[in-house]
Amino acid sequence: MRHFKRNFILLTDSYKHTHDPLYPDEVETIGSYMEARLGAVYDFILFNGLQAQLMKYFEGVVITREDIEKAAAKCAWHFGDESKFNRKMWEYILNECGGKLPLRIKAVKEGTRLPINNAFMVMENIGGKITRGLVSHCETILTHIWYPITVATKSRYIKDILEKYGNICGFQDIAFHCHDFGFRGVSSVESSEMGGTAHLINFLGTDTMSTFDFIEEFYGMPTHSGFSVVASEHSVATSGGEDKEIEYLDRMLDKNPNGIVSIVADTYNIERFVTEYVASRKQRIIDRCVKNTNPGLHRVVIRPDSPRYKGEEPWKQCIWLHEELSKIFGFTINDKGYKVLNTCIGVIYGDGLSLEQIEEIYAMLIQHGWSISNMVVGQGGGLLQKCNRDTQRFAIKCSYQVQDGVLVDIQKNPLDNTKASKKGQLKLVKNYDIDGNWEYETINQHHPLYFDFADEMEVVFEMGEMKRIQTFPEIRELSNQRY
């Protein structure tokens, strides 16, 4: 594979290069923050992804002589001449900072679940007027963390759904009940790494193996971050044609005498496949399960990959599968009074599911008297691709400046007040009431208790160096805490 060195100076929007001379002469320091604004789809975010972004693009020596000269030449033909290129700043960073970025960045811990409309990251330039253009310059690439945050938030929302219905039916072991099939549906390998890792904060099931090296490199967890099972696809199921589909089922069982095996069942006629073929192999399926010491790890999972008929809602097929499989393999009643399929058999559905459809599946299982224990859902593009920066309305905005040594509040306040930004030097604090309950609140230096509150945003990066490193297990543990 060919690898090329990215020029940090070019990793920004073009117009950012033009900003330094547009500031008033007295501006020395610029402070900006990032938040998910009011009007977001979900009322919370699950923060993650910053550590990897900083290690990849910000840490260490970032600016070289070659970078400056190549960027200057590109800006010259891009804008028409070199005058828009902030050579003075980049020369200062190279010669006075050793090529390291004179920035200070603070952020909450990754894994923090935070209500929207709160600052979770702030940054400012170090060095005074000569570096003031750096904050705006870095806004572009730092904004990219909208993506892993949004994926983790969606994934956490699914986990909330599973916990909700699991509490009703008495099933809590949900770590593998949402599986990531999104690798092929994203726009790049990098997207699969960032988004797939974000999902693994909440769950253990994934087919996005690119996450493993990513997690090892940036979060210090070399193994055991995500798991999968043997699973067929239609190229396997169709190999013998429709007349030999029963042989396909036998081959799946023959080649996999142990472990969980997922069998795509709707290549031709899923109703025939289940009521005839699976039913005819009932004893084989039971035997491969009960002969092992942990039967739950040796089940056969039936996977539909499409509706049975045009317009069928996913929950209807899931209920149908539960009912038909229970006729074949039987079921028990748990302590909460809900039906549980025989441990040897299970169901997974992942055909284009939305979050609303996932909730509907589990709600209808409960309504029909079924535990959620034998029903796994999968998401591909719906998890990793069907989102954008506006899903959670992410933005980085300037909130203060130092002008001739004086701290000045800066605020955007348009007629659309959902786009109004925060002003001042910001802290994210835990504000407790008299009963000891707390909630997150973003305050500025004008708050009467500003200096009494501890800031939940810690320094994570300063002058080219990482100041806080979190491990992936730590992030997972933190993500389970409620706000």
Question: In this structure, is residue 420 part of a structural domain?
Answer: yes
Co-location of 289 and 392 in the same domain: no
For residues 184 and 280, state if they share a domain.
no
Task: Tell whether 88 is covered by a domain.
Answer: no
| Radius of gyration over every alpha carbon of the chain, rounded to an integer in angstroms | 27
DSSP state of 109: P
* Co-location of 326 and 406 in the same domain: no
Same domain membership, residue 181 and residue 42:
yes
For residue 483, what pLDDT is reported?
57
Answer yes or no: do 364 and 451 share one domain: no
pLDDT of residue 439: 93
pLDDT at 241: 95
What average pLDDT does the structure give for the chain?
Answer: 96
Q: What are phi and psi of 18, to 5 degrees?
A: -95, 0
Assess whether 200 and 237 both reside in one domain. Answer: no
pLDDT at 1: 56
pLDDT confidence of residue 341: 97
Q: What is the mean pLDDT of each run of 10 residues along the chain (483 residues)?
A: 84 96 97 97 98 98 98 97 96 98 98 98 98 98 98 98 98 97 96 98 97 96 87 94 96 95 97 98 94 85 94 96 98 98 96 94 98 96 96 98 98 93 97 85 96 97 98 96 69
Q: Is residue 90 part of a domain?
A: no
What does the block give as tokens for 376? 């796994």
Angle at 226 between CA 225 and CA 228, to 5 degrees: 155
Q: Tell whether 18 is covered by a domain.
A: no
Q: What pLDDT, on the 0 to 100 scale, is given for residue 351?
A: 84
396 neighbors 143 (Cβ within 8 angstroms): yes
Same domain, 286 and 260: yes
Q: What is the pLDDT of residue 224?
A: 84
The token pair that represents 49 in the structure block: 């992804």
User: How confident is the model over 231-290, as pLDDT tens digits?
Assistant: 999 999 999 999 999 999 999 999 999 999 999 999 999 999 999 999 999 999 999 998
Distance, in Å, from the CA atom of 75 to the CA atom of 147, rounded to the nearest integer, reads 28
Q: Report the pLDDT value the prediction gives residue 303, as an integer from 0 to 100.
A: 97
Instruction: Identify whether 208 is part of a domain.
Output: yes
Tell me which residue range forms the domain holding 443. Answer: 29-59+103-175+177-226+373-483
pLDDT at 134: 98
> Is residue 245 in some structural domain?
yes
Is-contact 202 223, C-beta < 8 A?
Answer: no
pLDDT tens per residue across span 287-304: 999 887 787 899 999 999
Q: Is residue 4 part of a domain?
A: no
Place of tokens 């690798």: 183
Give whole-number Cα distances, 428 to 53, 161, 440, 463, 467, in Å: 22, 28, 7, 23, 19
pLDDT at 2: 67
**218 lies in the same domain as 322:** no
**Based on the domain organization, do 380 and 444 belong to the same domain?**
yes
Structural domains of the chain, count: 2
Distances (CA, A) of 34 to 106, 138, 394, 423, 447: 11, 12, 7, 12, 20
- Return the amino acid letter for 341: L
48 with 110: CB under 8 angstroms?
Answer: yes
319 and 377 fall within a common domain: no
Identify whether residues 382 and 467 lie together within a single domain.
yes
267 with 157, same domain: the answer is no
What CATH number is attached to the domain comprising 325? 3.20.20.70
Residues 58 and 101 sit within 8 Å (Cβ to Cβ): yes
Residue 193 belongs to a domain with what CATH number?
Answer: 3.20.140
Q: How many whole angstroms separate alpha carbon 41 and alpha carbon 43?
A: 7
Pair 27, 136: CB distance under 8 Å: no
Residue 10 lies in a domain: no
Encoded tokens for 369? 């008297």
